[in-house]
């Protein structure tokens, strides 16, 4: 078995990058480390994002211009999206002539790239986590995700996509549940859960970024059963630091803006919780460890993001089962070009 990175070392086909964001930075760093950066012959952007600019010494081109210049090529997709127009464009250029298109799996957080060496080093844990999958779709999603990590073939992910409605049908919390939303952003997932599960009686929404927290409060102000908390969920209570970047990218780090940390067990206390959503930007392991009493006590249904770190696909299922041995573990992937929007569902 080989992987995408070794394939790129062997190919004689011109390599180009599609995208100029953080993902491109990480992919370029790996290409440079592998000695394959000199095979890259261009960078292009989506329609409307070309403009007059350069990136890593290359003029940013349109797809049409780079295709005319190079002909058949290997395209490395450097960003993720769930937008239909973007997905349609990606598949169109992937199937244009003799092109090959791959999306290298570089982690959102952490340094370990899931390549063949990583796979072999963690084979035991990967096999153990696979053995926890509760149904055939979970097994297929697990296997396809691992193969995507190794090959960068986005078609593997498309083969196991499910809708958001399918995910919520599987969660199915009991009427009267307390819902804990960890990483509530601007309230979008609060509204999503309330629309799919109108029987939820109370919501506690936790968001560390102060700007997002203010939007969360504004967007849920009309909901009398929602309590918003400005904190970062971790394995201990106290104070930590976060970056203050744009969007959802708020995670625990050694320096930056000070913010309160809290645990799920602290927030829930002696109450019974019916459902918890964990999407905490790579802090899922710590957040789960801080939930040990809640999970062992009332075993709420869980929706846990498992795509921020390379280890999440195997580490988080094993951790969840260790915290509550009676959980059934499912894996679902909602429509997205990359492995983002891949979640663990744990329920009794």
- In this predicted model, what pLDDT tens digit does every residue of 255-273 receive, in sequence order? 667 889 999 999 999 999 9
Q: How far apart are CA 85 and CA 104, in angstroms?
A: 21
Task: Identify the pLDDT of residue 258.
Answer: 83
Task: Identify the pLDDT of residue 250.
Answer: 61
Task: Identify the pLDDT of residue 218.
Answer: 96
Task: Identify the pLDDT of residue 253.
Answer: 66
> What global pTM score does this model have?
0.94
Q: Residue 14: pLDDT above 80?
A: yes
Q: What percent of the chain has pLDDT over 90?
A: 89
Query: Mean pLDDT over all residues of the chain?
Result: 94
Q: Residue 197: pLDDT above 80?
A: yes
Q: Residue 193: pLDDT above 50?
A: yes
Contact 119, 311 (CB under 8 A): no
CA atoms within 13 A on the CB side of 151: 14
Q: Residue 291: pLDDT above 60?
A: yes
Using CB atoms within 10 A of its CB, is residue 291 exposed (0-12), middle (13-18) or buried (19+)? buried
Q: Residue 9: pLDDT above 60?
A: yes
Question: Confidence band (pLDDT; 50, 70, 90) for 283?
Answer: very high
Q: Residue 1: pLDDT above 70?
A: yes
Q: Of all helices (H) and strands (E), which one includes residue 63? A: helix 63-70
Closest CA to 234 of 253, 215, 211, 248: 253
Class of domain 4-158: alpha beta
Q: What value does the mean pLDDT take over residues 284-309?
A: 97
Q: What value does the mean pLDDT take over residues 45-59?
A: 91
Q: What does the pLDDT look like over 124-182, one tens digit per residue?
A: 999 999 999 999 999 999 999 999 999 999 999 999 999 999 999 999 999 999 999 99
Residue extent(s) of CATH 3.40.50.150 domains in the chain: 164-347
Higher confidence at residue 239 or residue 331? 331
Task: Identify the pLDDT of residue 247.
Answer: 41
Q: What does the pLDDT look like over 225-248, one tens digit per residue?
A: 999 999 999 999 999 887 765 444
* Topology (CATH level 3) of domain 164-347: Rossmann fold (3.40.50)
Residue extent(s) of CATH 3.40.50.20 domains in the chain: 4-158
Q: What percent of the chain has pLDDT over 70?
A: 96
Q: What value does the mean pLDDT take over residues 9-22?
A: 96
Closest CA to 142 of 151, 131, 152: 131
**Strand duo 15-18 + 342-347: pairing:** unpaired
Task: Identify the pLDDT of residue 251.
Answer: 63
Q: At what angle do helices 188-196 and 210-219 cross, to 10 degrees?
A: 40
């Amino acid at each position: 078995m080989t992987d995408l990175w070794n394939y790129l070392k062997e190919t004689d086909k011109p390599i180009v990058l599609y995208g100029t964001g953080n993902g491109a930075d990480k992919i370029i760093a790996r290409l440079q480390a592998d000695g394959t950066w000199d095979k890259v012959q261009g960078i292009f952007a989506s329609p409307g994002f070309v403009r007059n600019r350069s990136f890593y010494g290359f003029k940013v081109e349109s797809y049409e211009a780079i295709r005319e210049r190079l002909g058949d090529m290997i395209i490395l997709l450097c960003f993720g999206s769930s937008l239909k127009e973007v997905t349609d464009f990606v598949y169109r250029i992937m199937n244009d002539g003799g092109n090959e298109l791959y999306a290298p799996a570089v982690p959102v957080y952490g340094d370990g790239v899931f390549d063949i060496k990583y796979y072999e080093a963690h084979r035991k844990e990967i096999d153990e986590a696979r053995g926890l999958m509760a149904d055939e779709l979970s097994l297929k999603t697990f296997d396809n995700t691992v193969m995507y990590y190794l090959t960068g073939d986005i078609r593997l992910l498309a083969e196991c996509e499910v809708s958001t409605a399918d995910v919520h049908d599987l969660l199915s919390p009991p009427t009267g549940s307390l819902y804990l939303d960890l990483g509530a952003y601007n309230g979008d997932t609060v509204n999503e859960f309330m629309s799919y599960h109108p029987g939820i009686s109370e919501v506690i929404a936790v968001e560390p970024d102060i700007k997002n927290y203010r939007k969360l409060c504004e967007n849920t102000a009309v909901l009398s059963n929602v309590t918003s908390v400005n904190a970062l969920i971790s394995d201990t209570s106290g104070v930590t630091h976060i970056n203050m970047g744009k969007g959802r990218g708020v995670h625990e780090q050694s320096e930056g803006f000070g913010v309160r940390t809290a645990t799920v067990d602290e927030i829930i206390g002696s109450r019974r919780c019916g459902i918890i959503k964990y999407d905490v930007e790579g802090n899922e392991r710590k957040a789960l460890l801080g939930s040990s009493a809640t999970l062992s006590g009332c075993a709420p249904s869980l929706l846990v993001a498992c795509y921020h770190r390379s280890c999440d696909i195997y580490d988080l299922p094993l951790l969840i089962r260790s915290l509550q041995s009676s959980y059934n573990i499912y894996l679902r992937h909602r429509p997205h070009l990359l492995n983002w929007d891949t979640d663990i569902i744990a329920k009794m």
